[in-house]
Amino acid sequence: MTYLLALDQGTSSSRSIVFDEHGHIVALAQQELPQIYPRPGWVEHDPMEIWRTQLATAREVLAKANIKSSDIRALGITNQRETTALWNRKTGQPVHHAIVWQDRRAESTCAQLREQGKESLIQSRTGLLIDAYFSGTKLKWLLDNAPGARAQAERGELAFGTIDSWLMWQLTGGALHATDVTNASRTMLFNVHTNQWDDELLELLGIPRSLMPTVLPSSAYYGDVRADLLGSAIPIGGVAGDQQSALFGQACFKAGMAKNTYGTGCFMLMHTGNQFQTSQNGLLTTSAAQVAPTSTGAAPLAYAMEGSVFVGGAVVQWLRDGLHAIKGSAEVQGLAESVPDSGGVMMVPAFTGLGAPYWKPDARGTITGLTRGTTVAHIARAALESIAYQSAALLQAMSRDAVGAGAAPVAELRVDGGACVNDLLMQFQADLLGIPVIRPAVIETTALGAAYLAGLSSGVYRSTDELSGMWRADRKFLPTLGADRAAELMAQWERAVRQTVLQ
C-alpha cells in the first residue's frame, strides 16, 4: 500500500492525516492552536507553537497509522492563508507573532492605498481588492512595528512567508524558502498573470524583494523533510492554501465547478479554468492549484473566483464561549431544531467586519427581530442560518459573474469543512440556493487536496482525471423551499446586513 501524508495547519488547530492511495483516511492527529488577542480586532499566533503542534501531530499520526516514515511516498502541506510570519534567516526565530488572516490592524494602510487610487492597479495585477485580510499590508505593519525589523530586512537578514513557507523552512532546517502560487496569490504582492512577485507592488508597500520566497507550482517537488524529524527524508510534493486545496480535493478541476468550505470562516470558490475574470460583484480572482506537467516543469495557469465569509463556524464558538448558550459545539443543531424557525430573528455575525460580497470593514455584528417571545433557541437557529445566508450571497454573486462572462450559473455546490456535517444547515443552504448541495464521502477535502497534489508530483496518480474518478458523494441535499420564499428570506437578510453599517 502506498501512503501520503498531509499536514493541515489551520486557524484553530494543527492536524496531520495519513491517506492511502485510494484517498481513504488511515489515521488523523490533531492539536488545538492557542489564539492570541492583543487588542480588539487583532489576532495573532505564536509561529513556534504552530511548528511545535504541526510536528507533534505528524509524529503522532505515523504512530497511529502504525507505519514508518519510509512508507510515505510524499508529503503535502495545506495551510491557513494570508497569515503572515517574519523570521530571522540565521536563527530561524520569528521576530514577532504571526498576524492571522482575521486581523484588522492594517486597515489604515489599506485606507491610504484607496485614497491613492490604487484599487484598479492592485485588482488588475493580483485579482484582489484592497483589504487588511491579505498578507502584504500585514507584512508592512511588521516591518514598521517589530523592533529593528525594517533595518534587518534591508540587510537581507529576514524571511517572509505565509504558514506553508514557515513550515517548509522548519521541515528542511532552513534549506527551503518557498511557497506555491495559491498562497502567493493571497499576498496582494503577486502578479497572477506572470506568476511572479510584482516589483511595483513591493515598492508601493516598501517591502524588500529579498524577503520573498521562491514560488513553485502547487504540485511539484519542493525538497525533502530532514530525516531526523520524522525518521526519513520524505519528499515535499504538494503545497496549496487551504481553500484552493479543498477545491482540488473536491475534484473541482473544470470551469463552473464550485465548492464551499464551512470552517472558522466560509470560503466559496468556483473554478474558471485558465481565464482570469474580474468580478463585477465584489468577489476576488485568485490562483487555483497549478499542476506542472512533468516534461516542461511549467504549470498552466488556473484561476478561481472566490468569496470569503469572515465568520462562519466561529459564530457557533461565540454561542459557546461568548453567550454560554451551549456547552459544546455539537449541541447547536439540537438547540436550533427545538424551534421550527428563527422566529423572525436575524443574526449578522460581522464580528470582524463583512467580507465578500459586501467588503464592509466597519460593519459590526447585529441581532435583529427580537421580541419577548425570542428564546436562546431562536438565536441559535439564527446563528446557524447566518452561515447559510452569507454563503448564499456569495453564490448568487458568483452566478451573476458567470452569466456576465457568458457561462452557465453554478449548477451544484460541493461542501466540506467541519460545519457541513450539520444536516439542518446543509438543508437550509440548499433551500436558499435552489440547487443541490452535495457532501462528499471524505469531508477532509482540504487535507485530501494536499495529499492529491503530492501524489501527482510523486507519480502515485497519473492525472486529475484519475482523481475525478475517485470522488464520491455521501449525501445530496435537494431544495425544498419555493423560489419566491427563498428570495423573500434573502431580502430579509440583505435588510439586516444594511443595518450593520448604519453606525
Q: What is the pLDDT of residues 294-314, one digit of tens each?
A: 555 567 899 999 988 888 888
Statement: residue 502 has pLDDT above 80: no
Q: Which residues contact residue 227 at a Cβ distance below 8 angstroms, ignoring those fewer than 6 apart?
A: 233
pTM of the model: 0.89
C-alpha 249/C-alpha 414 separation (Å) is 11
Cα distance between residue 452 and residue 470, in whole Å: 11
| CATH number, domain 312-440+473-499 | 3.30.420.40
Mean pLDDT of the chain: 92
Give the pLDDT confidence of 381-439 residue by residue, as tens digits. Answer: 999 899 999 999 999 888 888 888 777 778 899 999 888 888 989 999 999 999 999 99
Q: Give residue 296's pLDDT.
A: 55
Tens digits of per-residue pLDDT, 99-155? 999 898 999 999 999 999 999 999 999 999 898 989 999 999 999 999 999 999 999
The mean per-residue pLDDT over the stretch 17-28 comes to 96
Mean pLDDT along residues 22-31: 95
3-state SS of 345-396 is CEEECCECEECCCCCECCCCCEEECCCCCCCHHHHHHHHHHHHHHHHHHHHH
**CB of 17 closer than 8 Å to CB of 30:** no
**What are the pLDDT digits (tens) for 347-387?**
999 887 887 788 787 888 889 999 999 998 999 999 989 99
Q: Hey, do 3-250+260-308 and 312-440+473-499 end up sharing a CATH topology, with the first three levels equal?
A: yes
pLDDT of residue 501: 74
CATH of domain 3-250+260-308: 3.30.420.40
Q: What pLDDT, in 10s, does the model give residues 431-463?
A: 999 999 999 998 899 999 999 999 999 999 999
| Domain locations along the chain | 3-250+260-308, 312-440+473-499
**What's the rounded mean pLDDT across residues 200-222?**
96
pLDDT bucket at 332, cuts 50 / 70 / 90:
confident
Question: What's the pLDDT score for residue 280?
Answer: 85
- The pLDDT tens digits for 229-288 are 999 999 999 999 999 999 999 999 988 899 999 888 888 999 988 889 888 888 899 999
Helices (DSSP H) in 219-258: which residue ranges?
Answer: 227-230, 242-249
- Please choose, from the candidates 300, 286, 302, the residue with its C-alpha nearest in 3D space to the C-alpha of residue 242: 286
pLDDT, mean of residues 217-230: 96
